[in-house]
Amino acid sequence: MILGRYIPGDSPIHRLDPRTKLLGCFYYIGIVFLANNWITYALMFALTLGLLPLAHVRLGFFLRGVRAIIYLILFTVLLQLFFTTGGHVWWQWGWLTVTSKGVVNAVYILCRLVLIIFASTLLTLTTQPLGLADAVESILKPLKPLHVPVTELALMLSIALRFVPTLMDQTTKTMNAQRARGVDFGSGGPIKQLKAIVPLFIPLFVSAFSMADDLATAMEARGFRGGDGRTRYRALAYHRGDAVAVVLLVVLTVVLIVLRTH
Amino acid sequence: MQPVIDIQDLSFRYREATTDALKHVSLTVNPGEWVAIIGRNGSGKSTLAGNIIGLLEPERGSVTSGHVTVSGLPLDDEHVWDIRARVGIVFQNPDNQFVGATVADDIAFGMENRAVPRAEMQQRVQAALSAVGMTDFAEREPARLSGGQKQRVAIAGIVAQAPDIIILDEATSMLDPAGRRAVIDLVTQLQQERHMTVLSITHDLDEAARADRIIMLAHGAVADVGTPAEIFTRGTELAANGLDVPFPEQLKVALRARGVSVPDDYRTEKGLVDYLWTLRSTM
């Protein structure tokens, strides 16, 4: 499973500013919906796949990673295929119909989903979670005058990210400790499985509380007085690559608008 | 000499407790001194540390009296943040006090809070990293560090702040013997280079033996004050306070039981070895 994972590297894509990548990804997902004929979809695919070698990611690795959501894609595509009405009716059985319009819609949906998944997977593959947290803070900054606690949100996000591996360790330890006491995880019916989760969740919550307490004490002892009046150690900076990326996106948008059918 | 920490008649009670966690504690620590505070669990050691930097404010406890002065500043609402700027504290659990997402971020956290300009922060982070010997680990995440390395990062965070006082609140209790020794050696080195005052709260005898002075707490009150040599000779009293007796003292008790005469004063391992070989010498 590579969805949401980060692979360290030093490609031109890795070096882009996380803000560019995050906003660029959203924008890209937006303009995927501009595409509405074969040429535009072919163009989008060529571009997306062209980004892979630029990010030093092999296509095979990438495909194997996104395989996990193939059923979700298939489900959506089949729904489109069987339940769209209009155009020639090619096949009918009860309330299931396959029409020419249905087939076209299904293929478009497939293309869109695949493009969106590729773009967002590429984003997480090439951007450190911490960079994304910084990007979110920087992007939300304009909301500060509206009393949105941007700095606190960013701090919470970065602490949450930092504690993910710690809590995973804790979970494994607690699970093993409960197994040693005879708790049977992952077997039996749904009710039994839910019951087995209780001796895992309660100690986890309690230890999360005590961690939070310790952390708050340590933060206060180190002079943390809230989000205001702090300086930042990490800083984001735009480089030439970011300008290139923006130009590319603008050109792509114009080309898509020209090539799309009305 | 003006004491750097001056505690006069401090009493403290947690909100839902029935007895005071600290009872009329008075003690002073001189600049550049290494003072160890020992005592069994629940004797009030950590409460004392929390009181020195105002983490346990009067509002959080129901009964608080007494005066605490740190670096000449009285502990009150007005000065508490200035005091925290002068005191660096390393807590027990290396995982739960690591704030930053990477080593460098964690070291910078305290400076960010005090609005140190970014360029200066970068310089001080580098200096602190090399002071604790962790230069190659700047971009590492806490999950990929050992317990001892995390405590070094915690110390680096303090070094970057350049405080007058370091408080080690059982900072070595979750480390293995090698990690423990490394952290103590590191703090010793920092203390000597930067003339810091060290207040170590500990169950660890090596750490206590390293101190210039030991303060023993029992049931929230000061039970005994003395040099390690003075305190360590009180074997039964140490045991009654839930502490180990150092190995040379254990050996002396065993030798006395076998009829070998041994000196009453405290000897280090080397001191005892010297005594024993002169005893055996027939020349």
Residue B68 has pLDDT above 60, yes or no: yes
Quick check: A235 contacting B, CB < 8 Å? Answer: yes
Query: Binning pLDDT at 50, 70 and 90, where does residue A2 land?
Result: low
- Residues in A closer than 8 angstroms to B110, CB to CB, are 222-223
pLDDT tens digits for range A135-192:
988 999 899 889 888 888 888 888 888 888 889 989 999 999 999 998 888 888 888 8
pLDDT for the residue B62: 40
Per-residue pLDDT, A219: 93
pLDDT attached to residue B60: 45
Handedness of CA B205, B207, B209, B213 (dihedral sign): negative
- Domains along chain B with CATH numbers: 5-245 (3.40.50.300)
Q: Do B101 and A162 touch (CB under 8 A)?
A: yes
- DSSP one-letter string for chain A: --TT------SHHHHS-HHHHHHHHHHHHHHHTT--SHHHHHHHHHHHHHHHHHTT--HHHHHHHHGGGHHHHHHHHHHHHHH---S-EEEEETTEEEEHHHHHHHHHHHHHHHHHHHHHHHHHHHS-HHHHHHHHHHHHGGGGGGT--HHHHHHHHHHHHHHHHHHHHHHHHHHHHHHHTT--TT-S-HHHHHHHHHHHHHHHHHHHHHHHHHHHHHHHHTT---STT---SS-----HHHHHHHHHHHHHHHHHHHHS--
- Chain A neighbors of B161, CB-CB under 8 A: 222-223
Cross-chain Cβ contact A130/B116 below 8 Å = no
The Cα of A47 is separated from the nearest Cα of chain B by a number of Å equal to 33
C-beta atoms of A211 and B95 within 8 A? yes
Cβ <8 Å between A231 and B157: no
Average pLDDT over residues B241-260: 82
Half-sphere exposure of A130 (CA within 13 A, CB side): 17
Is residue B63's pLDDT more than 60? no
pLDDT value of residue A262: 64
Q: Do the beta carbons of residue B11 and residue B20 sit within 8 Å?
A: yes
Among the options B33, B59, B139, B170, which is catalytic? B170
Task: Judge whether A166 is closer than 8 Å to chain B, CB to CB.
Answer: yes
Q: Is A214 on the interface with B (CB under 8 A)?
A: yes
Identify which of A166, A215, A220 has the shortest CB distance to residue B55: A220
Q: How far is B223 from chain A (nearest CA, A)?
A: 28
User: Binning pLDDT at 50, 70 and 90, where does residue A201 land?
Assistant: very high
Is residue B173 less than 8 Å (CB to CB) from chain A?
no
Q: Is the pLDDT of residue B236 over 90?
A: no
Q: Which of B224, B250, B254 is nearest to B237 (CA)?
A: B224
% of chain A at pLDDT higher than 90: 24
Please indicate if any CB of chain A lies within 8 Å of the CB of B57: no
Per-residue pLDDT, B65: 65
- Contact list in B for residue A210 (CB cut-off 8 A) is 96
User: Any chain A CB within 8 A of the CB of B157?
Assistant: yes
Local structure of B89: helix, strand or coil:
strand
Q: Which residues of B touch A172 (CB under 8 A)?
A: none
CA distance A46 to A49: 5
pLDDT of A250: 93
pTM for this prediction: 0.81
DSSP state of B198: E
Which residues in chain B have Cβ-Cβ distances shorter than 8 Å to A220?
Answer: 55, 84
Q: Per residue in A93-137, pLDDT tens?
A: 766 777 778 888 888 888 888 898 888 888 888 888 888 888 988
Q: Given an 8 Å threshold on Cβ–Cβ distance, is A218 in contact with B91?
A: yes
Cβ within 8 Å of residue A225, ≥6 positions away:
B81, B113
Q: Is A165 on the interface with B (CB under 8 A)?
A: yes
Give the one of B113, B117, B157 whose C-beta lies nearest to A224's C-beta. Answer: B113
ipTM for the whole predicted complex goes beyond 0.90: no
Q: Is B81 on the interface with A (CB under 8 A)?
A: yes
Q: How confident is the model at residue B156 (pLDDT cuts 50, 70, 90)?
A: very high
To the query of whether residue B269 is one of the catalytic residues in this protein, the response is no
Quick check: A223 and B81 CB within 8 A? yes
- Mutation target to probe the A interface, by most A beta carbons within 10 A, among B105, B112, B121, B124 is B112
CA atoms within 13 A on the CB side of B228: 18
| Helix, coil or strand: residue A45 | helix
